[in-house]
Amino acid sequence: MQSSSADMTPQGRAIRDASVRFGDGRTLPFTPCKKGFIPFVHGERKFACPLHNKERRRRVMSAGGAFREGELDLHILWKRYEAETVATESHDAPATKVENENDNGNKE
């Protein structure tokens, strides 16, 4: 499906031309949207920018969670982000002092 902006605006024509040159003519291996894409917002996985997230999520889910050929598999970003978050949280956790008790029940 081609949007009307693909013929009307210079940006639309550039995106359409790039999708033909670098993608399959329907999609690109990167997001051309100016709204910006953040893989996580408040701990929730995002599939696209705020404007296109619902539509892309629906498409990916209808394909069984698979991304189109040439698209970045967002599972890579999500796993990396989750791993970094866990590592940061465990690194920031306050250290606890372990007290040993001797045989008499006295703390050392």
Provide the residue ranges of all domains of the chain, joining segments of one domain with +.
1-30, 33-91
How high is the pLDDT of residue 92? 62
Q: 39: which DSSP letter?
A: S
Which alpha helices (H) appear in 5-103, and where do they start and end? 5-8, 10-22, 53-62, 74-92
Going by pLDDT thresholds of 50, 70 and 90, the confidence category of residue 30 is: low
Report pLDDT digits (tens) over 40-97. 888 899 998 888 899 989 999 999 999 887 788 888 888 988 888 888 777 665 555 4
Instruction: With CA atoms as reference, report the closest residue to 83 among 71, 75, 94.
Output: 75
Q: How far is CA 33 from CA 13, 18, 30, 88, 100, in A?
A: 13, 13, 9, 30, 58
Do 81 and 88 form a contact (C-beta atoms < 8 A)?
no
Place of tokens 């920031």: 92
**In this structure, which amino acid lies at residue 88?**
T
Rg of the chain over Cα atoms, rounded to whole angstroms, equals: 23
